[in-house]
């Protein structure tokens, strides 16, 4: 079936990303928006846009019934869920199918099987995919947990059966911590997912988080598209991803790729998905979960393989067969992505809200921007703090890293703080340059390094661009004397500078 019109059940960067591919394919794009998002770029970029409710996600972007109603009224044939919100909700996918629409993603049954962490674990064991030692089913109470933890050894990780995104997880180092951790994790899981059930696994100390992109059509073809290194993360939320991983050699890549394909086939997977693994220092890898959607970090795979994953998603939803085989997939170069979040790294990543007064995103060779930010935009606290992504592609990892450093130095954003200063310092750290990262890297780096100190980039102190920007903005405000500056160079002012940090992020002359 030829799809002519698609509703994007999402907002912001990913909605705009999908709209762009649909436009290239000659497919009309329909956007939805909450009352808070009326002026957002994805709304203005779509062919049609419809309101779906108040700002709170529970009253708008999580209202599957409203979204399906809009899709039918607008004459859409399909719905693309993006990531987050309803993208991994099996009930929503089933409701879309029942309404006679195409869900651009896996089937509802596959989402349900992969989303149930206990069911997924059982399926992986049956398929011969390595899994972390742990419980075979939900843990009913702390006493049962204690027996399993003693058997597999401490530390252990408590995880929500229906969880994701780092919620409903607690690491327990000794038996005395079990009961309190169980109660907190199950309560958080019930609040976040409506399901308090927990399971337990052996906790791997400082592993790498490496995921494999998979894709399957409806004709029995399943392929993998290499791996992405996702170990730079904070509180289980990724901040920097790259492909290929500096840790993975050809032999390990082949084994992980084969395991990822087997994992996808074990749940009868179709469309784009990601199989996530934890990898220890001895290159043993263990299944973590299947993400049944397009990933935030999908651009790094697109950059090194020269493909458009969203286009492939739409083609597969139309029933078309993959036009390439596994052996035809050959990567080129290295790609790094950083997530630009409206969070202040100087105040323990407190979320930022406010008006973006001006913005200049980096450009130039090998730099891709996936973002929906613009001057005059209001950053709100209703939604995820990620406001965009910067992707750099180079001949090799060294080249891509240098390109990303240059891109972050070009970034100018006035109005809210972002995590860019910390990411820039991480990229320049010798351990990162050597590929010596793991899931605890960022916490250790923040705790142990003096990352706030000013660096010298080509003879220009890092604070100078921030000061210049602040001066220009102050003049724009007709002598108000205040400016809010963000970007890689918006570090605290140096001693003796006529411009000093006031409060969290204000430069006052």
Structurally, at CATH architecture level, domain 133-202 sits in 2-Layer Sandwich (3.30)
Cα 213 to Cα 309: distance, rounded to the nearest angstrom: 10
pLDDT digits (tens, 9 = 90+) for 331-388: 999 999 999 999 998 888 899 999 999 999 999 999 999 999 999 999 999 999 999 9
Could you give the residue range(s) of every CATH 3.40.50.20 domain in the chain?
Answer: 5-104
Average pLDDT, the chain: 88
Q: Is the pLDDT confidence value at 122 over 50?
A: yes
Burial of 414 per CB tally in 10 Å (0-12, 13-18, 19+):
buried
Give 28's DSSP letter.
E
pLDDT digits (tens, 9 = 90+) for 180-199: 988 888 888 888 778 888 88
7-21, 72-86, 191-205, 319-333: least confident range: 191-205
Q: Would you place residue 476 in the very low, low, confident or very high pLDDT band (cuts 50, 70, 90)? A: low
Q: Residue 95's CB: how many other CB atoms inside 10 A?
A: 19
Could you give the residue range(s) of every CATH 3.30.470.20 domain in the chain?
Answer: 208-448
Question: What pLDDT sits at residue 348?
Answer: 86
Q: What CATH code would you report for 208-448?
A: 3.30.470.20
pLDDT digits (tens, 9 = 90+) for 34-54: 999 999 999 999 999 999 999
Residues with Cβ within 8 Å of residue 192, at least 6 apart in sequence:
160, 163, 167, 168
User: For the chain, what's the residue count?
Assistant: 509
pLDDT digits (tens, 9 = 90+) for 380-421: 999 999 999 999 999 999 999 999 999 999 999 999 999 999
Q: What CATH code would you report for 5-104?
A: 3.40.50.20
What separation in angstroms does the CA of 92 have from each of 63, 81, 115, 178, 324?
Answer: 9, 10, 13, 35, 31
CA angle at 292 for the pair 289 and 298, rounded to the nearest 5°: 95
Could you give the residue range(s) of every CATH 3.30.1490.20 domain in the chain?
Answer: 133-202
pLDDT digits (tens, 9 = 90+) for 413-448: 999 999 999 999 999 999 999 999 999 999 888 888
Task: State what percent of residues in the chain have pLDDT above 90.
Answer: 69
Q: Tell me the chain's radius of gyration from C-alpha atoms.
A: 23
Residues with Cβ within 8 Å of residue 174, at least 6 apart in sequence:
154
Catalytic residues: 293
């Amino acid at each position: 079936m030829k799809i002519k019109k698609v509703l994007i059940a999402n907002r912001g960067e990913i909605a705009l990303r999908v709209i762009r591919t649909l436009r290239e394919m000659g497919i009309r794009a329909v956007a939805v928006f909450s009352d808070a998002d009326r002026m957002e770029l994805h709304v203005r970029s779509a062919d049609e846009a419809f309101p779906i409710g108040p700002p709170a996600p529970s009253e708008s972007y999580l209202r599957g019934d409203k979204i399906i109603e809009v899709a039918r009224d607008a004459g859409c044939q399909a719905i693309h869920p993006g990531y987050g919100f309803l993208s991994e909700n099996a009930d929503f996918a089933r409701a879309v199918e029942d309404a006679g629409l195409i869900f651009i993603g896996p089937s509802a049954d596959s989402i349900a099987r992969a989303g149930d962490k206990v069911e997924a674990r059982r399926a992986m064991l049956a398929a011969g995919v390595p899994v972390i030692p742990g419980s075979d089913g939900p843990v009913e109470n702390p006493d049962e947990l204690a027996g399993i933890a003693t058997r597999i050894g401490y530390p252990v990780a408590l995880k929500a059966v229906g969880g994701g995104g780092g919620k409903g997880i607690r690491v327990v180092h000794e038996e005395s911590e079990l009961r309190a951790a169980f109660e907190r994790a199950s309560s958080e899981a019930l609040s976040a997912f409506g399901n308090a059930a927990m399971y337990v696994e052996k906790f791997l100390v400082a592993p790498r988080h490496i995921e494999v992109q998979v894709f399957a059509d409806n004709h029995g073809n399943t392929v993998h598209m290499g791996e992405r290194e996702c170990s730079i993360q904070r509180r289980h939320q990724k901040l920097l991803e790259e492909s290929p991983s500096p840790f993975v050699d050809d032999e390990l890549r082949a084994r992980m790729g084969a395991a990822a394909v087997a994992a996808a086939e074990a749940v009868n997977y179709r469309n784009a998905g990601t199989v996530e693994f934890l990898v220890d220092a001895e290159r043993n890898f263990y299944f973590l979960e299947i993400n049944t959607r397009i990933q935030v970090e999908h651009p790094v795979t697109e950059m090194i393989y020269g493909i458009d994953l969203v286009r492939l998603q739409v083609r597969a939803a139309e029933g078309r067969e993959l036009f390439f085989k596994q052996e035809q997939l050959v990567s080129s170069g290295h790609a790094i992505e950083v997530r630009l979040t409206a969070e202040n790294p100087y105040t323990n990543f407190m979320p930022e809200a406010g008006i973006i007064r001006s913005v200049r995103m980096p450009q130039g060779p090998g730099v891709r921007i996936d973002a929906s930010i613009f001057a005059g935009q209001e950053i709100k606290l209703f939604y995820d703090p990620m406001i965009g992504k910067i992707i750099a592609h180079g001949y090799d990892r060294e080249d891509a890293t240098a390109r990303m450093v240059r891109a972050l130095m070009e970034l100018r954003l006035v109005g809210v703080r972002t995590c860019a200063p910390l990411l820039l310092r991480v990229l320049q750290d010798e351990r990162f340059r050597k590929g010596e990262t793991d899931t605890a890297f960022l916490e250790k780096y923040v705790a142990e390094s003096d990352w706030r100190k000013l660096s010298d980039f080509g003879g220009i102190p890092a604070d100078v661009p921030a000061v210049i920007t602040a001066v220009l903005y102050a003049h724009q405000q007709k002598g108000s004397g205040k400016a809010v500056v963000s970007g890689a160079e918006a570090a605290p002012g140096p001693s003796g500078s006529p411009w000093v940090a006031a409060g969290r992020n204000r430069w006052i002359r």
